[in-house]
Amino acid sequence: MSVLNRLNKDFPDNFLWGASTSAFQVEGASAEDGKGLSVADIRSMDSDFLDTSVSVDHYHHVEEDVALMKELGLKSYRFSISWTRIFPNGNDQQPNAEGLAFYHRLITLLKKSGIEPIVTIFHFDLPQALVEQYNGWADRRCVDDYVRYAKFLFDEFGDVVNYWLTINEHSLLVNVPSMIGLKDNDPKKLREMAEHANYHMFLAQAKVFNLCHELLPAAMIGPAVSYMTNLSYDHKSSDALLGKSLEDMVSFITMDVAVRGEFPTYYTRKLVEDGISLPIQPEDEKDFETGRADFLGLNWYCTSIFRHNKQASSKMLAGVVDQIERYEDPALQHTEWGFSFDPLGMRYALQRVHDRFPHLPLMITECGWSEKEQLEDGRIHDSTRVRFLNDHIYQIREAIRDGVNVISFNPWSFIDLLSVNDGIDKRYGLVYVDRDNFSEKELKRYKKDSFYFYQSVIQHNGRNIEKERTGN
């Protein structure tokens, strides 16, 4: 055995070049063909922008959209299955046949096009009926309903789906509990409900890891983690520790529990200090001991800088991290929504996960650049997104050369879609959809300049990527 590791020079030949979306953000048809209401549907109805009723209407454009994926040359497509399109109330005795037929059609089209489906089981769209029945994830009954739903998907699609993601951005749902339908005027009670939901999601995930390994031993399964990478504001230990604390509570807790099967001390200490106990049952321990992830899905967009500010009001759940504000480094370019352009941060972020979990396969499940865009003679000249893709893919290749086991890149997003908080204005897609927040127009699809750039990257397996041009 050699003490020297073999150096990787390029992306492996079996690298999965993909793109990402989620059901409630692209499908539309939110009340068609037997689909039930989700929390995401209801939240969108309260928005000042478009809702989930049509979005970009992938539900009725699925053949056209998969044809575009094939033309792009995708090797993978990361999407989610809508829980309420399969089980309208979340725990129905029988599945919704029309919803089931849609996903069979989608997955069959993908497989015929040589595209590997990467399926997210739960992406922000908790059945509203479960909230009304027992307060959703805050109640242990949601664990059983989620596991039953996941088992149904394994039984139905396990022969054609090799990659599964359990829960998308688990920590975001806990820190913004309205996203899973949790509300209370008492901040302490809301925090306790959110932490109970946190525990139940972790338990459900561990059970589903075990179930996948039992039913689909050749498949791989993992979480889709909201991965925050923070830099120190003022070169002080207090700022560095602030950034690390945020990373721990938002990102690394999800990874630690999924990979190690135990709750980290930095988290349990905070619960004890805040007087919160988790609804642990003795039989849960075995599920955590054996239910481990095969890989990590990383939703990574940018580096961030936070600093203390006693007057600042955090968007996060009160009691998790308070009195902080985000600071924008003037040396970096930022989107209109405050996300930085920092490709070297991608390499740094990947190295940190590799250091924590050596050699564990990593899948980049989201990464993208958002802009407001306008058609110009039937074209979208999204040069900044092209540069973003080039520079970040370059740094992913550098991370692979560092020894990081990156197996897939799925930028957000394949097509323009409904943003969680900003409607259609916040465009991430490689494909433009001609609609705005108030008019569906014809929903015509247009290939952006970034589509053609990424198509070339895939054709060359990333070997045509240039050294980054941002100067970082």
pLDDT tens-digit series, residues 328-387: 889 999 999 989 999 999 999 999 999 999 989 999 999 999 999 999 889 999 999 999
Please determine, for residue 472, whether its predicted confidence score (pLDDT) is greater than 50. Answer: no
pLDDT tens-digit series, residues 170-190: 999 999 999 999 999 999 999
Of the chain, the percentage scoring pLDDT greater than 90 comes to: 82
**Residue 169 annotated as catalytic:** yes
How sure is the predictor about 5, in pLDDT bands with cuts at 50, 70 and 90? low
Model pTM? 0.95
Please determine, for residue 50, whether its predicted confidence score (pLDDT) is greater than 90. Answer: no
- Per-residue pLDDT at 240: 86
Measured CA to CA, the distance from residue 176 to residue 137 in angstroms comes to 13
Measured CA to CA, the distance from residue 446 to residue 443 in angstroms comes to 10
Q: Are 424 and 50 in contact (CB under 8 A)?
A: yes
- Per-residue pLDDT at 427: 96
How sure is the predictor about 326, in pLDDT bands with cuts at 50, 70 and 90? confident
Please determine, for residue 308, whether its predicted confidence score (pLDDT) is greater than 80. Answer: no
- Mean pLDDT, residues 184-197: 94
- Per-residue pLDDT at 4: 59
- Mean pLDDT, residues 28-35: 96
116-122 and 76-80 strand pairing: parallel
Given 247, 366, 373, 468, the catalytic residue: 366
**Residue 63 annotated as catalytic:** no
pLDDT tens-digit series, residues 378-417: 999 999 999 999 999 999 999 999 999 999 999 999 999 9
From 425, 430, 433, 423, select the one nearest 455 (Cα to Cα).
Answer: 430
Phi-psi region of 388 (alpha: psi -120 to 50; beta: other; left: phi over 0): alpha
Measured CA to CA, the distance from residue 433 to residue 435 in angstroms comes to 6
Structure tokens at 264: 């980290």
pLDDT tens-digit series, residues 64-82: 999 999 999 999 999 999 9
* Least confident among 321-330, 361-370, 431-440, 445-454: 321-330
Cβ contacts of 442-448, under 8 Å, gap ≥ 24: 443/54, 443/56, 443/57, 443/61, 445/61, 445/64, 445/65, 445/68, 445/415, 446/375, 446/378, 446/379, 446/380, 447/68, 448/373, 448/379, 448/380, 448/381, 448/382, 448/385
Cβ-Cβ contacts under 8 Å for 122 (sequence gap 6 or more): 80, 83, 146, 166, 167, 168
Measured CA to CA, the distance from residue 5 to residue 349 in angstroms comes to 21
**DSSP category for residue 72:** H
Q: Are 204 and 143 in contact (CB under 8 A)?
A: yes
Torsion, Cα 368 374 379 384, to 10 degrees, reads -40
Structure tokens at 394: 């370059």
pLDDT tens-digit series, residues 246-287: 899 999 999 999 999 999 999 999 999 999 999 999 999 999
CA atoms within 13 A on the CB side of 326: 16
Please determine, for residue 468, whether its predicted confidence score (pLDDT) is greater than 90. Answer: no
Structure tokens at 43: 């939240």
Measured CA to CA, the distance from residue 209 to residue 216 in angstroms comes to 10
- Per-residue pLDDT at 312: 65
List, in sequence order, every beta strand (DSSP E) within 51-115.
76-80
| Cis status of the peptide bond prior to 419, with omega within 30 of 0 | no
Cβ-Cβ contacts under 8 Å for 9 (sequence gap 6 or more): 401
- Per-residue pLDDT at 149: 98
Measured CA to CA, the distance from residue 303 to residue 240 in angstroms comes to 13
Alpha carbon 295 to its chain's center: 14
Structure tokens at 327: 């600071």
Q: Across all residues in the chain, what is the average pLDDT?
A: 93
Please determine, for residue 421, whether its predicted confidence score (pLDDT) is greater than 90. Answer: no
Reduced to 3 states, what is the DSSP secondary structure of residue 394?
helix
- Mean pLDDT, residues 104-122: 98
Q: Are 353 and 213 in contact (CB under 8 A)?
A: no
Does residue 320 or residue 24 have the better pLDDT? 24
CA 85-91-94 angle, 5° bins: 70
Alpha carbon 132 to its chain's center: 26
